[in-house]
Chain A
């Protein structure tokens, strides 16, 4: 049997480098996720307001995010902004901006969906019991919204983690890029490394995303 090039992992600090790369990817996605959740709650709440202008703006925003490939957004922010505005935004900040721009739109749409899916009689029966508006939101509406939201937003989080593999296109050395470097550096001695290293990268993504999506499934079942 051909060797799979897995031995490369134990050469020098290769495995540690891969883990470092993974951390770069996770750092970008986690920071973006946290900001997206905060802004998404706000945007989602804005979307439920009956304001025509606001609705159109939000609609356009959401469509732009859906239609534009994330890579194009990355290029616009990283390369485009430097040329046109002369801004010197680091690659990591550019990635966080793009991921947050994307995450906020999707999160906002999820929040909007969760909010309008709470039936009107939930508000009314809370009011009929004498609960104030604040009490109605704190005890009845928000807990139900969060329950609907968590499984959906976890799905978004795993998608954001996976999509960080694009940021190597603007020069960030994340896990996939580290993998490529290791393979390139050992092309002569370990020509099969592409399999072993990329399989390892796959495995690293898997052990990060799998527990998260398991959690989503578990919560969905528990709260259905």
Chain B
């Protein structure tokens, strides 16, 4: 493998007051990889993503992104976060700003790019997700699916090297889920590096290069072939977990 390693997690250990959420966790992510992380609620998936962009501090272990250490309170954390796009489960748009203002805020203020240039790019991105007519709308005027697509555009406009998706469709009505997943699928096709936490199993199967199954803060099963994993999970815990999604 001569592909470039983007992100490396070594012996990550994270606990909340004695409750261990991540146990000695290792992961290496290469450029262009789409990794889907699944597992039961409370297995540490979301915490893992939050540690990667330094929203949570870890007790021990090391996170390296593009050669630089990620630490919650370090000085360069803002620099690193600019390169890591994150979309959350809750609609996290800024309610007092329009769609366009939401998107251009960080590129203009953090990256100090020219407003005209950023606006132009924002409009192109909005067009790609079919929302260019909503550029002057406020978040409260959008549906849940539209908000999440704007949140994705907002992350993309920073030109991140990796995108983290934390259960972005979990709070959506079923008919809204599709439009968001389609957007993500498109990004995957274009070669974006993505780490996706989701409960949408058929989407995971379609989008993933690699599947990680977490339970109790540990990596229980890993597979480079989503098809194999979903059809013939090797571990008992994964089998049990996947069965909960099936109906007889």
Among A121, A122, A129, the residue within 8 A (CB) of B105 is A129
A144 to B93, CA, bound (A): 12
Q: Is B53 part of the contact surface with A, judged by Cβ < 8 Å? A: yes
Question: In the complex, which of the residues A127, A128, A147 contacts B96, with contact meaning CB atoms closer than 8 Å?
Answer: A147
Question: A139 contacts which of B53, B95, B109, B155 (Cβ < 8 Å)?
Answer: B109
B200 sits at the interface (CB 8 A): no
- Least distance between A219 CB and chain B CB atoms (Å): 13
How many residues of B are in contact with the other chain, CB < 8 A? Answer: 25
Cβ–Cβ contact A144 & B88, under 8 A: no
Question: How many A residues have CB within 8 A of the partner chain?
Answer: 19
In the bound assembly, the distance between CA atoms of A31 and B81 in angstroms comes to: 45
| B78 in contact with A131 (CB, 8 Å) | yes
Residue of A whose beta carbon sits closest to that of B138: A223
Complex interface residues of chain A between 131 and 171 (CB less than 8 A to chain B): 131-132, 135, 139-140, 143-144, 147
Is B81's CB under 8 angstroms from A121's CB? no
Contact B158 A130, beta carbon cutoff 8 Å: yes
| Least distance between B41 CB and chain A CB atoms (Å) | 18
* A-B CB contacts (within 8 Å), total count: 60
Cβ 8 A contact of A132, one of B53, B78, B88: B78
B55 contacts partner chain A, Cβ-Cβ < 8 Å: yes
Give Cα A122–Cα B53 distance, bound, in whole angstroms: 16
CB of B90 within 8 A of CB of A135, answer no
Which of B78, B85, B88 has the largest count of A CB atoms less than 10 A from its CB? B78
B96 touches A143 (CB 8 A): yes
Tell me which of B55, B90, B105 contacts A128 (CB under 8 A): B55
Contact status of A130 and B55, CB under 8 A, knowing A139-B105, A144-B96: no
Could you say which of A119, A128, A139, A147 has the most chain B C-beta atoms within 10 Å of its C-beta? A128
Q: Which of A124, A131, A132, A223 interacts with B55 by CB under 8 Å?
A: A124
The answer to whether A129 and B158 touch across the interface, beta carbons within 8 angstroms, is yes
Measured between C-beta atoms, what is the minimum distance from A4 to chain B in Å?
Answer: 50
- Residue of A121, A127, A130, A140 contacting most chain B CB atoms (<10 Å): A130
Could you say which residues of chain A place their CB within 8 Å of the CB of B109? Answer: 131, 135, 139
* Complex CA–CA separation, A135 to B82 (angstroms): 14
Q: Are A121 and B92 in contact (CB under 8 A)?
A: yes
* A125 part of interface (Cβ distance < 8 Å): yes
- Asked if A121 meets B90 with Cβ closer than 8 Å, knowing A131-B110, A135-B110, A223-B96, the reply is yes
Min CB distance, A222 to chain B, in Å?
A: 11
- For A144, what are the chain B residues with a Cβ–Cβ distance below 8 Å? 94-96
Which residues of chain A come closer than 8 Å to B79, judged between CB atoms?
Answer: 130
Closest CB of chain A to B161's CB: distance in Å?
13
Contact in complex: A140, B94 (CB < 8 Å): yes
Contacting pair A127 B105 (CB below 8 A): no
Interface contact B55-A127, CB-CB below 8 Å? yes
Q: Do residues B88 and A125 form an inter-chain contact, with CB atoms below 8 A?
A: yes
B-chain residues with CB within 8 Å of residue A126 when the two chains form the complex: 94
B154 within 8 A of A: yes
B106, CB-defined interface residue at 8 Å? yes
Residues on the B chain within 8 Å of A122, using CB: 92, 94
Enumerate chain B residues within 8 angstroms of A223, measured Cβ to Cβ. 96
Do A130 and B82 have beta carbons less than 8 Å apart?
Answer: yes
CB-CB < 8 A to B95: which residues of A?
Answer: 144
Once A140-B94, A143-B96 are accepted as A-B contacts, the answer to whether A127 and B81 lie under 8 Å apart by CB is: yes
A140: chain B residues at CB < 8 Å are: 94
**Min CB–CB distance A221 → chain B (angstroms):** 13
Given contact pairs A122-B94, A135-B110, enumerate 11 new A-B contacts (beta carbons under 8 Å): A119-B90, A121-B88, A124-B92, A128-B55, A128-B84, A129-B81, A130-B78, A130-B81, A130-B158, A131-B105, A140-B94
Closest 8 CB pairs of A and B: A125-B92, A130-B82, A129-B106, A128-B86, A130-B81, A130-B110, A130-B78, A121-B92
Supply 5 A–B pairs (Cβ within 8 Å), ascending by A. A121-B92, A127-B81, A128-B55, A130-B110, A131-B110
